Amino acid sequence: MKALLAISLLVMNPAWLGAEEQYLTKVRTYELLVAEAMKHLGTKYRLGGCAPGGFDCSGFVSFLFGKFGVELPRISHEQAGEGKRVGLRKVKKGDLLFFRGSNIKDRTIGHVGIVVSDKGEPVRFIHASTSKGVVISELSTAYYKDRFRKARCFRELKRKVKI
C-alpha cells in the first residue's frame, strides 16, 4: 500500500523526480494571446476603454497585444497599417481583422477584431461590440462580411514560449 501511495505521489508531482523540465511545453505566443482574450468575454463596451473595466474595439486589441510585447496605435484605422497584410484564406489565430465602421458607405476602417479560429476553419473573431461588449462573432455573418476590409498578421506572435 505504501508503494502505491509513493508511486501515485510521484505521478501527480513529477517535480519530486527532478523532471519538471520535461513537462514544460512550447506554444506560439498567438495561442496565449487568444487564451487571454477569451478571459475577457462578456466585458462591457466602453467608448475609449482600454482596460478590463471596459473596452472599445481598438482598446481591447492594443491592451492584449501590449501584454505580449506588441505595441500598437490606439485607433483601429492606425492599427490597420501595422503588421503584414495576409489574405483572408490564410488568417489564423491572433491575426487582426479590420472592418468599415457602422456606416457601410464610408470605406474608412472603424472596427477591429482578433481571429480565434484555426487556419482553414470558418473565420471567427473576438472583439468589443458596441451593443454586446466583448464577444465572438463569425465573419460569415452579413454584417461583418459586407464590412470586411483587410487582415494583418504579426510575426512577433509566432515565436514559441515555454509554459
Which CATH number covers residue 117?
Answer: 3.90.1720.10
Question: How many domains does one find in the chain?
Answer: 1
User: 3 lies in a domain?
Assistant: no
User: 6 lies in a domain?
Assistant: no
How far apart (Å, rounded) are the C-alpha atoms in residues 42 and 74? 21
From first to last of the 163 residues of the chain, give the pLDDT tens digit.
Answer: 333 233 333 334 444 445 555 668 999 999 999 999 999 999 999 999 999 999 999 999 999 999 999 999 999 999 999 999 999 999 999 999 999 988 878 889 999 999 999 988 999 999 999 999 999 999 999 999 999 999 999 999 998 888 8
Per the residue annotation, which of 40, 50, 57, 153 is the catalytic one? 57
Residue range(s) defining the domain that contains residue 80: 25-162
User: 134 lies in a domain?
Assistant: yes
User: 18 lies in a domain?
Assistant: no
Which pTM does this prediction carry? Answer: 0.84
Per the residue annotation, which of 40, 50, 77, 111 is the catalytic one? 111
User: 87 lies in a domain?
Assistant: yes
Catalytic-residue membership of 50: no
CA nearest neighbour of 121 among 84, 91, 144: 91
Positive or negative: CA dihedral 53, 56, 62, 65: positive
Catalytic-residue membership of 40: no
Instruction: Give the containing element (helix H, strand E) for 33.
Output: helix 29-38
Per the residue annotation, which of 40, 50, 77, 127 is the catalytic one? 127
